[in-house]
Amino acid sequence: VTERKGVVVEAIRRIQPTDTAWRVRAKERLDTLTKPSGSLGRLEEIAARLCAIQETLSPTSSKRRVVVCAADHGVAAERVSAYPADVTAQMVANFVNGGAAINVLAKTADADVWVIDVGVAGPVEVRGTQIPFVSRPVREGTANMTQGPAMSEQEMLCAIMIGLEQADLAADDGVALLALGEMGIANTTAASAITSALTGVEPARVTGRGTGIDDQTLARKTHVIEQALALHSLRADAPFEILQTVGGLEIAALAGLCLGAARQRQAIVTDGFISTAAAMLAVCMCPSVADYLFAAHLSPEPGHAVQLDWLHQRPFLHLDMRLGEGTGAALALNIMGAACAAFTDMATFESAGVNGRR
């Protein structure tokens, strides 16, 4: 445990905040382009932040990768989901075989998809080999958080390290934009517990219908989260304890991915409720991670808006998406690509011979 903890602590120590001087320089360039100052709105902010992250005035938005981390959840035994737990392994196979929404949407965003099994219970039946599949189950799903900690400290650190490793691999491949994806039946329950623990907002306000549960199941799910939080009595400033007791293995891997991506100066694009919970944990572990985060979209899951407020993030897209997998994040990659292209490819007032303001 001590050795693994050392690796994570060292990764965190190496994360640098971005330098605002790059944003100022980027803004100066943006004001020379043929458009009224600020009129590209948040595209300008995205471009300036990419400049600061990459420390350049020639930012790039390629290449792009969606990392989908998957694991099962012991709390599924409390019947908190509309789907049986088998679906996790089946959907992971679907990702690897290229048939899921994330495969299709990532393709439209010119992004590749990596699928990481961090703790799926049961075997994954893989047919295709086009999609990189990393099989590194730390354990066969977490334990039931209402009975005890979801995982041991050792297991949590292993999962975080898998995420750190993925960020390093992405850096080796020259990835500039890294989108977070996840799969795990019952993982909105873990995400709600994490969100409540980090923000202090009561479980009922951050617990939603996930894949589409009925009123009775929603009431049970809320109660399960209250039970788990009562059992573990967590402090808001203890991200590792929160992650270990009420988190998930894929959430730990995604938190590690955020830390690793920030260390590698990659832009991190959050997706929905689960991946944003992971990003919050990473920010709580290291506040400078926030400099690398971009919120893709707003999910109808009620806790998502609470999370984005806590992160001081405004989502780009309002599409009522609640699938996860990284689907919303994939759509945002094109927006970030457009921001980057506008910054690098537009004519200036001078080069185009266009008059400025009166």
Residue 326 contacts residue 299 (beta carbons within 8 Å): no
Residues belonging to the active site: 325
Q: Does residue 338 touch its own copies according to CB under 8 A?
A: yes
207 binds its own copies (CB under 8 A): no
Find all residues with CB under 8 Å of 230, minimum gap 6, and list them. Answer: none
Q: C-beta of 340: minimal distance to its own copies in Å?
A: 9
Q: Specify whether the CB–CB gap between 343 and 26 falls below 8 A.
A: yes
DSSP bridge pairs for 181: 68
Cβ atoms of residues 329 and 181 within 8 Å: yes
Shortest distance (Å) from residue 98 CB to its own copies = 8
Subset of 74-113 contacting its own copies (CB under 8 A): 82-84, 86-87, 90-91, 93-94, 97, 99-101, 104-105, 107-109
Residue 17 or 98 having the CB closest to its own copies: 98
181 binds its own copies (CB under 8 A): no
Distances in Å between the Cα of 124 and the Cα atoms of 114, 129, 211, 253 are 15, 13, 21, 18
List, in sequence order, the alpha helices (H) in 141-248: 153-172, 187-199, 215-232, 239-246
301 to 320, contacts with its own copies by CB under 8 A? 314-320
User: Is residue 219 a contact point for its own copies (CB under 8 A)?
Assistant: no
- Min CB(108)–its own copies separation in Å: 4
The DSSP-derived string for 236-255 is TT-HHHHHHHH--HHHHHHH
- Minimum gap (Å) between residue 86 Cβ and its own copies: 6
Q: Which of 135, 211, 227, 288 binds its own copies (CB under 8 A)?
A: 211
CA distance linking residue 215 with residue 133, whole number of Å: 37
Q: Report the interface residues with its own copies, using CB under 8 A.
A: 33-43, 82-84, 86-87, 90-91, 93-94, 97, 99-101, 104-105, 107-109, 125, 211-212, 300, 314-323, 327, 330-331, 334-335, 337-338, 341-342, 345-347, 351-358
